[in-house]
Amino acid sequence: MASSNDRPGETAAQSPSGGPTASRAAHPAPGSRPATPHADPIRLLAIRETPLSLDEVFGAVGDDAAGGTALFVGTVRDHDGGSPVEALGYTCHPSAEDEMRRIAEKITAQFPVRALAAVHRVGDLVVGDLAVVVAVSCPHRGEAFEACRKLIDDLKHEVPIWKHQTFSDGTDEWVGAC
């Protein structure tokens, strides 16, 4: 029997003494953490031409031992340097995914990472599209924030991904990884 004090995913049960106690539902709620720990904290690394999913990246970093998860989402904005942006295209070097892995391994060695995920989009994007999504889970929020910031900063500075911006006045420019 459920009471108004029950939390989502829990039902009231009887303790051995006859009083109510909380118990987990038989099936975990969507988005719940995996019950089995993963050997590799690097759960998802990809460069894709298809739209990115926040749910996929967030779901990849779920971990019962993580007390904090930080997520960064980079979107295509409508301007750059004061000039209106119409669209942009991302392209990458064939070594880009290998470089992403090297950075991810460095982050997991530097911070107490329980889980890490990073996905970058390539191809033609428009204003509002997701360009990059990264997430890191750690035992505590401070570590998660620091690791996530280091991850996105290093990806932007070191992974050979370039963008070709098209402005509303018809001009365009290539911009390096950072």
Q: Answer yes or no: is 68 within a domain.
A: yes
| pLDDT of amino acid 176 | 79
Judge whether 93 lies within some domain: yes
Share of the chain above pLDDT 70, in %: 78
Per residue in 72-131, pLDDT (tens digit) is 999 999 999 899 999 899 999 999 999 999 999 999 999 999 999 999 999 999 999 999
Instruction: Assign residue 94 the CATH number of its domain.
Output: 3.90.1170.40
Q: Is residue 153 part of a domain?
A: yes
User: How many domains are contained in the chain?
Assistant: 1
- According to the model, what pLDDT value does residue 178 have? 53
Q: Is 159 contained in some domain?
A: yes
The whole-model pTM stands at 0.78
Q: Does the residue 18 lie in any domain?
A: no
User: 7 pLDDT band (50/70/90 cuts)?
Assistant: very low
- Number of Cβ within a 10 Å radius of residue 23: 13
Domain of residue 81: give its range: 42-175
Answer yes or no: is 70 within a domain. yes
Flag whether 150 is in a domain: yes
In a domain, 12, yes or no: no
